Amino acid sequence: MTGADEGTHADAGTDAPRGRGPVRVTPCPDGPLLVRGPLELVGPDGVPVPVRRRTVALCRCGSTATPPWCDGTHKVNGFRAPG
């Protein structure tokens, strides 16, 4: 899974669709959390983090260089977690 495919910072040129609807969070086996649907992500400082797509991948391994987005590092650092 690549970050750009899953809605990372690399999508800066697009706007995420806004609207109402369910938000679905799906943990990928040994990988990120896929979050689908309209969402607002707020950083620890209270400032909203731009979300550019309706599906984003959030890091679970803690080793990403692009927090909070998954950058695929879980594939090389041995991260293991159930889906």
Each residue's pLDDT tens digit, 52-67: 899 999 999 999 999 9
How many Cβ atoms sit within 10 Å of the Cβ of residue 74?
22
Cα separation, 8 vs 52, in Å, equals 8
Cα separation, 21 vs 82, in Å, equals 27
Each residue's pLDDT tens digit, 34-45: 999 998 999 889
